[in-house]
Structure 1
């Protein structure tokens, strides 16, 4: 088990080092039983200026000892990169144990295969990376780690009665405002690999038979094998509302409800071209009630 300081001190801009309001760089624990692979991941992490301290462990037992050690023995990991295939406890076994910690770190998996991606998603992983890991791909995982850490810090502030801190440019909050540990990650297939999309980035979902197409913030969409009716039931507590038999919309993304030719339509923001979706009479009353009760009273 090793502690490797990142290159934060010499490489980070002086303004970032001098700002006491900014948290220190991420502390990331990498776990892999293959030393060359572990060294490569540590090397790539050292090249990311958002990472301050890198911890390494060669198996689950070493990692658990580090994560549950006595306070003050070393930096507490913000995130863990876990190899799945390890002797003894594998990465999924360890992740299940970590989820029960008082302050669980964000977890991303490393694997040479994608056959356990769904299992990883089900236990709350923020990402699933295929080996060999590329620097650009690892940087995406670090972005998710930053977002998870910032959300956890914000939750701590609110519990302590402190006002919310403005979002930092380095790790912006999800557009809908629902981010962090409570945010569900959706497993989607992309170019032969499995990626994870935060539910908070979904602007609206469209029914396509037994599938649903998720239209996400910034543009683009993903097809998942889940009927819209199932998403409606599961996502209602997160602020998604059915507006039509073919559409489920994030309530916080609705910027306009208007009457058109005897019917109603909603304008949904988040993509380069706002979506203009129909509203059925069956769902109109519920939609109006939720809009009036939400953060846009009077719309």
Structure 2
């Protein structure tokens, strides 16, 4: 089973990639790094500890365009080590496939990442490690062959040309929502290429994450590529109110309003959310009007 490090400087996309990797039974562990410096620190620690160490990394799933060092820069640095981890590039840009091939990448996965495509990249990584007999056998897991436990990972060989597409059809970014919702009462969300329609009435609150927003429902959360300010404007008539620069809340889903030492917060289900000073008075007035009909 694989120990994986995923590297992407866009937090929502990193979280989605980690979610998909952790869902794969061939992945023992998947940790994330949000920039090149953190990634190199973790990889260096893993290499110093050796393949048997607790911090060992078998495969790095690596974005290409990041602030500071790019994914290609990281791969070039790792090429100088005797036994580096395998590299899988995960990028929205199709024009770096040749450079990835030169750097002996195992695979080149285009965003938005589809679960079946990522599963193929995991299979190729397992097969490459397994061909050298360096991966412990994993019964019942396709694509993993036997080898002595704890053995060191070899320097990866160049992948077959079929692993690196020469061209691909451009796709819209992961988790991007369509401009028009399916109906006025629903919003379209995507995860791994699958589109779902979430009822707006089921959304308790919304959390800003850069250019994205995370919709929280009783069953879980969904990521959409819409700024919080856009949802605030669009859903104002549906009873959603801004309580903080990071949060938009359905007024009807607020269970408690708490005042403590000059700070205001609300409880929405199991979540406690801070209310900024600029929104506190307006929120109290709205809740009072709601309570009195």
| Structure 2 length-normalised TM | 0.47
Q: Say which one has the larger Rg.
A: 2
| Structure 1 length-normalised TM | 0.47
Relative contact order higher in (CA < 8 Å, ≥ 6 apart)? 2
